[in-house]
């Protein structure tokens, strides 16, 4: 753990984020950093050709998956070709008849789609990952396949990424019930005593009625709550590749709201669909614990992180290079599940970057967590930003998605609708105010008014721990590209400083920057108090400012810090994959930890100890003017 006064980590290759003059109310931004290139986009799909070779073959087994209701399965792929090369690769495609459209000038029904291969693979591997392939021309590998509503086939290609030539197609494989409900994920509803249950299926509402069957632990009878159904099509998306070769039918996304939950009680639930003949297609069952009453004193533990991306248990799609920490962080969070109660994933979720099948791949990755504890999400640039679509930034970071998949696959209790991705969440002694940094947050905007009211709604004698969450660092970060801009934060981000100070916000946590950093309690670049030791590992009494934390460390490639001396407000840094954990045991004590993903160990921590009068104490710019009258 680097602490203030230590030498900064060795500099890695820096990436310049170019900020141009504001135009049309949005800030133009380039997102050409190598770590932001989705591996599927490196395949030159437009150049794909059919070159079937009778001496080449590929076969997948088993051909029927999920016979016992499983929603994922390992598939063995055997392949052979007479002239093996380092340019041979195997792609998993769905639907299985992908080869019929290769070489067409347009994707059917899509005027702006590219020619060549009409649809991107879901994942791929190079043949030479198998040790003997280049010598023998044969190999076998395993793919982890999930239920994504259609059948599958594998293609064997030569020519590498630049000139792919399809030389063999496998047999078709499919799940026993391709439409089955899969991958439940829960989140807090608009009230503290509600839980939203969201899942995906292939059933439209005219085929089957979606519902959740649930009951409180100890109850003998269950109840059923119906679910609403949403989907999206090409026309909802804003550009390529999302509406072209990266498009894949998302199926149907269902959400049911379990209401009037008892605080801290355990509930079991199961997702299902009642078919027209009265039979039920069941999905997985799970157990969750309802949220505590706002202000209730009990052990409350919340995990926060940003920028995780998609892992790859099967070693496919070069994802280890794209999001190298995603799988290790996911595995550690699953292992640590008994030790926390809720998750906030503050933006840059799947990094699908316009290849929509990756959203389906992401939901099973987090399902062991998200089906059991509330999994609250925020909007990041890789979910929302796209040119001329009403956002604060005018780049192409979402690669045509413009927020649509994230806002459909995940429920958040946004006060208006999920297109405006800001919201409040109460969890016992914590109040979280979650911003949407892809929309304007400055004074006079709708979001600024919301944040003001969100902070003000916290009754600090019962909810002493007030936390601000956002994707882009609006407060303080000594990341290299912010140094180059001369801002040490997102430009115009600190226009929220008067709100943080007025409402005495304790901690602000951000993603976006792929390293860990913690500040002292700070206001206007000045530390308002110092910790009780040199490591600033404990604070007592009034803070007088807000502690800002960058934690975009869950999976994306790590980044370096600014060179030279540390800013005086920067007290701890760590260039490792990990996540933040907040623990409140009562109204006077809160512990903060930064936990490494690889070993689960705590590598930075501090405690806050204080009473209610310390929360209410006046600091610079935090109190309204008053008279001298008694």
Each residue of 593-630: b (16+ CB within 10 Å) or e? bbbbbeeeeebbbbbbebeeebbebebeebeeeeeeee
DSSP conformation letters of 73-101: EEEEEEEE-SS--TT-EEEEESSTTGGGG
User: What is the model's pLDDT at position 175?
Assistant: 98
* Residue 85, both tokens: 């090369």
Mean pLDDT in runs of 10 for the chain (630 residues)? Answer: 45 32 44 68 92 97 96 98 97 92 51 65 96 96 97 97 96 98 98 98 97 97 98 96 95 98 98 97 98 97 97 87 93 98 98 96 98 98 95 94 98 94 98 97 97 98 98 94 84 92 98 97 95 90 97 96 93 97 97 98 97 95 79
Q: Are 269 and 212 in contact (CB under 8 A)?
A: yes
Q: Which helix (DSSP H) or strand (DSSP E) does residue 140 occupy?
A: strand 138-146
Domain 39-175 fold is: Immunoglobulin-like (2.60.40)
Q: What is the pLDDT of residue 1?
A: 57
**Residue 353: half-sphere exposure toward Cβ, Cα within 13 Å:** 20
In this prediction, residue 476 carries a pLDDT of 95
Contact (Cβ atoms closer than 8 angstroms) between residue 380 and residue 306? yes
Task: Provide the pLDDT for residue 110.
Answer: 46
Show the tokens assigned to 44.
């030159």
pLDDT (0 to 100) of residue 491: 83
Domain ranges of the chain: 11-15+185-190+198-209+211-616, 39-175
Q: Are 2 and 9 in contact (CB under 8 A)?
A: yes
Q: Are strands 375-378 and 342-346 parallel, antiparallel or unpaired?
A: parallel
Strands 138-146 and 174-175: unpaired
> Are the C-beta atoms of residues 99 and 49 closer than 8 Å to each other?
no
Considering only the top CATH level, what class is 11-15+185-190+198-209+211-616? alpha beta
Give the bridge partners for 425, in sequence order: 432
Contact yes or no for 428/467 (Cβ under 8 A): no
DSSP string, 546-577: EEEEEE--SSSPP--B-SSSPPTTEEEEE-S-
Q: CB–CB of 347/510 below 8 Å?
A: no
Percent of the chain that is helix, strand, coil (3-state, to 5): 15, 30, 50
Rounded to whole angstroms, how far apart are CA atoms 196 and 561? 39
Q: What's the confidence (pLDDT) of residue 31?
A: 45
**Residues 187, 199 contacting (CB under 8 angstroms):** no
Q: Has this prediction a pTM greater than 0.85?
A: yes
Q: How far apart are CA 79 and CA 93, in angstroms?
A: 16
């Amino acid at each position: 753990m680097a602490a203030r006064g230590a030498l900064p980590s060795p500099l890695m290759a820096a990436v310049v984020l170019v900020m141009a003059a504001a135009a049309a109310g949005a800030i133009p931004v380039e997102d050409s950093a190598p770590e932001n290139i989705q591996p599927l986009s490196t395949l030159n799909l437009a150049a794909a050709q059919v070159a079937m070779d009778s001496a080449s073959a590929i076969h997948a087994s088993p051909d029927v998956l999920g016979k016992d209701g499983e929603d994922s399965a390992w598939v063995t792929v055997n392949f052979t070709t007479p002239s093996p090369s380092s340019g041979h690769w195997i792609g998993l495609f769905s639907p299985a008849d992908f080869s019929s459209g290769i070489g067409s000038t347009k994707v059917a029904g899509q005027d702006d789609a590219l020619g060549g291969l009409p649809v991107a693979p879901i994942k791929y591997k190079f043949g030479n990952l198998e040790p003997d392939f280049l010598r023998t021309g044969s190999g076998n590998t395993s793919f982890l396949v999930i239920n994504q509503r259609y059948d599958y086939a594998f293609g064997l290609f030569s020519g590498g990424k630049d000139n792919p030539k399809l030389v063999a197609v496998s047999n078709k494989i499919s799940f026993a019930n391709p439409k089955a409900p899969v991958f439940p994920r829960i989140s807090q509803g608009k009230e503290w005593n509600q839980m939203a249950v969201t899942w995906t299926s292939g059933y439209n509402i005219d085929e089957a009625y979606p519902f959740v069957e649930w009951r409180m632990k100890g109850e003998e009878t269950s109840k059923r709550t119906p679910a609403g159904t949403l989907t999206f099509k090409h026309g909802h998306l804003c550009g390529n590749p999302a509406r072209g070769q990266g498009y894949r039918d998302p199926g149907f996304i269902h959400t049911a709201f379990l209401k009037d939950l008892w605080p801290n009680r355990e509930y079991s639930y199961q997702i299902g669909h009642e078919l027209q003949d009265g039979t039920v297609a069941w999905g997985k069952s799970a157990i969750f614990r309802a949220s505590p009453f706002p202000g209730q004193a009990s052990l409350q533990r919340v995990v926060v992180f940003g920028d995780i991306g998609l892992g790859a248990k099967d070693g496919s799609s070069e994802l280890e290079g794209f999001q190298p920490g995603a799988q290790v962080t996911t595995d550690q969070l699953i292992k640590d599940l008994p030790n926390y109660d809720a998750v906030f994933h503050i933006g840059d979720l799947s990094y699908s970057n316009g290849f929509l099948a990756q959203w389906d791949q992401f939901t099973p990755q987090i399902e062991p967590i998200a089906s059991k504890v509330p999994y609250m999400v925020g909007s990041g640039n890789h979910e929302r930003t796209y040119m001329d679509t009403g956002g604060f930034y005018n780049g192409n970071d979402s690669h045509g998605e413009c927020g649509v998949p994230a806002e459909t696959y995940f429920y958040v209790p946004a006060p208006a609708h999920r297109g405006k991705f800001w919201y409040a969440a109460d969890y016992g002694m914590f109040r979280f105010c979650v911003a949407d940094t892809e929309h304007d947050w400055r004074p006079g905007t709708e979001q600024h008014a919301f944040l003001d009211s969100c902070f003000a709604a916290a009754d600090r004698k019962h909810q002493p721990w007030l936390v601000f969450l956002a994707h882009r660092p609006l407060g303080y970060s000594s990341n290299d590209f912010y140094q180059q801009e001369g801002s040490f934060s997102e430009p115009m981000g600190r226009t929220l400083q008067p709100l943080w100070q007025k409402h005495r916000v304790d901690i602000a946590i951000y993603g976006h920057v792929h390293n860990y950093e913690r500040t002292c309690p700070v206001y206007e670049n000045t530390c308002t108090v110092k910790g009780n030791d040199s490591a600033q590992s404990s604070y007592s009494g009034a803070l007088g400012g807000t502690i800002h934390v960058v934690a975009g460390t869950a999976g994306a490639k790590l980044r370096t810090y600014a060179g030279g001396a540390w800013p005086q407000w920067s007290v701890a840094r760590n260039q490792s994959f990990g996540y933040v954990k907040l623990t409140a045991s009562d109204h006077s004590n809160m512990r903060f930890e930064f936990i490494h993903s690889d070993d689960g160990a705590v590598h930075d921590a501090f405690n806050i100890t204080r009473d209610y009068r310390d929360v209410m104490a006046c600091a610079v710019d935090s109190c309204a003017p008053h008279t001298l009258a008694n």
